[in-house]
C-alpha cells in the first residue's frame, strides 16, 4: 500500500497502521467497546451457530479495495498477502492447528464460471493447505449476491444453498471444522453453512474471515 520498494505487498508498517488489533466479540467478530466481556449482548441473547468467529480487520479502506482486487479484478496473487494478514490475527494459528478440516465457503457453479476461481479457496489454501478440502461443503444452487440484498432477505436467500457431500458425511461427524471466507457482513452465509455442518455431526465450528463489516452496515 505504501509502495515502498523493496517492501512486500503488505509490509508490517502498513499492517500495524491500517489493521490495528481490536477487541471483538468471540462469536460474531464485531468490535466490542470494552474488554470486560468476550461475547456481545446480541450473541448472548441469540447465540449464533458458530462456536467462534475470528477476523483480521474491518471492511474499510484500504482492505475493501484490496479485497476487490482479489475478488472482482482478476488478481488472485493478493490471496497470499491477505492470508498472511489473516494468520496474524489473534487465535487464528491455534484455531487452524486444532481443526480437522478447513473448508472455504463455496461458490455456485455460475459464480465460479464468472470469476474463474473461489477467493475463499485461495485464502484457505494459503492458510492451511494440508487441511483444506473444497469438496466436502458444496453449493447446491445459485443465489443473488448477498451484498445486493437487505438483511431480512439474506437468510431466506441462502435456504438450501449448502450441503455436505452425501458420500462423505462420515468425514464431518465428530470433527472440528473451520470455515473460511473473505468478508462477513450479516453472517448469513457462514451461519447457513455452519448449520449444515452441525446437522452432519461436526462438534465444533469456527469461522475465520479476512474482514468484518460494521454493525450499522448490515441493513
In order, the DSSP letters of 97-160 are HH-SEEEEPPPPHHHHHHHSS-HHHHHHHHH-TTTB-SSSEEE-S----GGGS-HHHHHHHTTT
Whether the pLDDT of residue 154 is over 90: the answer is no
pLDDT of residue 215: 74
Is residue 25 within 8 Å of residue 40, measured between CB atoms?
A: yes
* Interval 137-162 mean pLDDT: 68
Distance of CA 9 to CAs 1, 47, 87, 116, 212, Å? 7, 38, 16, 23, 21
3 state SS of 83 = helix
Strand partners, 101: 177
* pLDDT for residue 146 is more than 70: no
Summarised one tens digit per residue, pLDDT across range 61-104 is 999 999 999 999 999 999 999 999 999 999 999 999 999 999 99
- Percent of the chain residues past pLDDT 90, beyond the cut: 74
Does 157 score more than 70 pLDDT? no
- Which is higher by pLDDT, 16 or 4? 16
Q: Which residues pair with 69 in a beta bridge?
A: none
- Distance of CA 23 to CAs 89, 134, 193, Å? 11, 31, 25
Amino acid at each position: 500500500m505504501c509502495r515502498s520498494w523493496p517492501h512486500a505487498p503488505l509490509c508490517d508498517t502498513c499492517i500495524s497502521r491500517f489493521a490495528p488489533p481490536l477487541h471483538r466479540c468471540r462469536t460474531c467478530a464485531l468490535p466490542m467497546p470494552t474488554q470486560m466481556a468476550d461475547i456481545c449482548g446480541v450473541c448472548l441473547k441469540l447465540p449464533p451457530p458458530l462456536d467462534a468467529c475470528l477476523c483480521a480487520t474491518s471492511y474499510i479502506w484500504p482492505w475493501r479495495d484490496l479485497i476487490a482486487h482479489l475478488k472482482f479484478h482478476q488478481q488472485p496473487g493478493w490471496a497470499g498477502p491477505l492470508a498472511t494478514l489473516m494468520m496474524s490475527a489473534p487465535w487464528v494459528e491455534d484455531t487452524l492447528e486444532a481443526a480437522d478440516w478447513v473448508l472455504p465457503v463455496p461458490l455456485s457453479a455460475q459464480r465460479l464460471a464468472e470469476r474463474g476461481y473461489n477467493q475463499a479457496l485461495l485464502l484457505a489454501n494459503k492458510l492451511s493447505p494440508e487441511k483444506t478440502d473444497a469438496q466436502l461443503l458444496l453449493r447446491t444452487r445459485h443465489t443473488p449476491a448477498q451484498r445486493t440484498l437487505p438483511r431480512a432477505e439474506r437468510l431466506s436467500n441462502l435456504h438450501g444453498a449448502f450441503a455436505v457431500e452425501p458420500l462423505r458425511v462420515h468425514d464431518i461427524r465428530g470433527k472440528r471444522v473451520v470455515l473460511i471466507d473473505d468478508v462477513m457482513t450479516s453472517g448469513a452465509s457462514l451461519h447457513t453453512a455452519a448449520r449444515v455442518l452441525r446437522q452432519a455431526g461436526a462438534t465444533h465450528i469456527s469461522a475465520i474471515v479476512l474482514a468484518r463489516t460494521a454493525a450499522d452496515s448490515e441493513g
